[in-house]
Chains A and B, each alone.
Chain A
Amino acid sequence: MNPADLRYDKEHEWVRVEGDTAVIGISDFAQDQLGEVVYVDLPSVGDVLAVGETFGEIESVKSVSELFAPVSGTVVEVNDELDSAPESINSDAYGAGWMVKIKLADPAELDGLMSSVEYDAFVANEA
């Protein structure tokens, strides 16, 4: 169910590696747990994030959750479309719902993330 070409962390973020850049979003499981997303607070281009650091917030009608950087690096692009269409995170968590692109500071950090198979098992335990 979770795309095999992505890596995942325990905070339910996903990472798609494109060269030296990591595209980051939240998983389908996470969006389902949150419910309809109504607001996303994202960092700015140029912000430097350390792995595990809070880089934003995501709000549904009922709850608010922090977003944690799954890898370290510098923000090179932010999905501004989410300002006007945060519901993309619900409808297309792995596509239009992407949040930020980070220039990887240390590609070795990717080894600490889960494969889709590992993440499927992780989610099965949480559900």
Chain B
Amino acid sequence: MTEGLLRTPLYEEHLALGARMVPFAGFEMPVQYAGIIDEHRAVRTSAGVFDVCHMAEFRVFGFEAFDALQGLVTNDLHKIDEMSKAVYTVMCDEAGGIIDDLIVYHTGDLEYLIIANASNRAVDAEWIAAHLPEGVEFVDESDRTGLIALQGPEAVRIITELAGEEPPARFHIAEARLDESIPVLLARTGYTGEDGVEIVCAATDAAAVWRLLLSFAEVSPCGLGARDTLRLEMGYPLHGTDMDRSIDPISAGLSWVVSMKKADFIGRDVLAAIKEAGPERKLVGLNVSEGVPRHGYPVLHDGVEVGTVASGTFSPNLEHGIATAYVPSALAEPGTCLEITARRKNVSATVVRPPFVTHTSLSA
């Protein structure tokens, strides 16, 4: 089962902590340590640390880097004209299909850092490199880069203590030194709905950073299981589950990252048409009355199948099942009553507008 799988620089740390390891995006990753629900609650109430070293980091730089990236992604990179700013976006093909979702950080003069999904690393790298003009450099730094997320209401206090200064503001990135020695980039971003940072470091420093964070009693190690329940409670889409190349960002509820104000970018014409006409299907949130909805379960309206569950889980905060699903736009209004076929029986599901959980350290 573990044959051919890659390991992050934190692999030995996970084993020492008794993690349950599973294959994910070609890596052997921790799915849980103490338990998904305990880890989830640690992030909502205190702080949790996640190994996200598997994710891809690309660096793009050169005089035409801005223009080139502006033509590749759907969001308007003028939002990060100011150095140290970051923006969430998707990158589409000519048909408007989502190749990946990314965060682009303005890390230096004429220089950008892109953090992308591990499973899309090769596809993204090929696509981006193929669309850059000569003179713009593209470097895939994933192998030599570590990425560790510290998330939760206590996260900022802890990282402030370790860095000797406050981390940058929300959706900003800045250099820092942890424990006066380890050089890192602190990005005030995350995938949990809680305040916190994502720490970019040399792969060779990842274990030291990990141990520093876990030296705080308030910090729990958290696996992919809690990462998934946390992100789904916020309605954050997961590429490969909630969206893929067959889906456009308008249907996926990501209109807000598609800027029609800017000049041409790949997929613009198709996306403009979809935006104008309105998407045929929309990704909606569903509150489920009983059981736990799972990816692929049929979604029904008046007994007729109208879609399938994209993401589904048990919400530890709400203590019931939650899901996302693509349904016809006419059935996407909050309050619409649908059903989910959960194996042997149908359970009721009510359309809601995510986030499912609204009170977090980010919303406070």
Name A's B-contacting residues (CB within 8 A): 35-36, 38-39, 41, 57, 59-62, 64
Inter-chain contact A61/B37, CB cutoff 8 Å: yes
Partner of B314, one of A38, A41, A57: A38
Inter-chain contact A57/B343, CB cutoff 8 Å: yes
C-alpha gap A38/B314 in the complex (Å)? 7
Of the A-B pairs whose beta carbons lie under 8 Å apart in the complex, a sample of 25, sorted by A's number, is A35-B32, A35-B35, A35-B225, A36-B35, A36-B36, A36-B37, A38-B37, A38-B314, A39-B291, A39-B314, A41-B291, A57-B291, A57-B344, A59-B291, A59-B292, A59-B314, A60-B36, A61-B36, A61-B292, A61-B313, A61-B314, A62-B31, A62-B36, A62-B225, A64-B292
Q: Is B165 an interface residue (CB 8 A)?
A: no
Q: In the complex, what residues of B have CB within 8 A of residue A36's CB? A: 35-38
Q: Is B94 an interface residue (CB 8 A)?
A: no
C-alpha gap A35/B40 in the complex (Å)? 14
Inter-chain contact A39/B225, CB cutoff 8 Å: no
Name B's A-contacting residues (CB within 8 A): 31-32, 35-38, 225, 229, 290-292, 294, 313-314, 316, 321, 343-344
- For the A-B complex, the count of residue pairs with Cβ-Cβ distances under 8 Å equals 38
**Residue from the set B37, B229, B290, B321 with the largest chain A CB neighbour count within 10 Å:** B37
- For the complex formed, measure the closest distance between the CB of B222 and the CB atoms of chain A, giving whole angstroms: 13
Given A35-B36, A36-B36, A61-B314, 6 more contacts at CB 8 Å?
A: A39-B314, A57-B343, A59-B292, A61-B316, A62-B31, A64-B343
Top-10 shortest CB links A-B: A38-B314, A61-B36, A59-B292, A36-B37, A61-B314, A36-B35, A39-B291, A62-B225, A39-B292, A36-B36
Nearest CB to that of B229 among chain A residues? A61
**Residue from the set A36, A59, A61 with the largest chain B CB neighbour count within 10 Å:** A61
- For the complex formed, measure the closest distance between the CB of B264 and the CB atoms of chain A, giving whole angstroms: 43
C-alpha gap A62/B32 in the complex (Å)? 10
Known: A36-B35, A38-B314, A39-B314. A61 touches B225 (CB 8 A): yes
C-alpha gap A57/B313 in the complex (Å)? 16
Nearest CB to that of B20 among chain A residues? A35
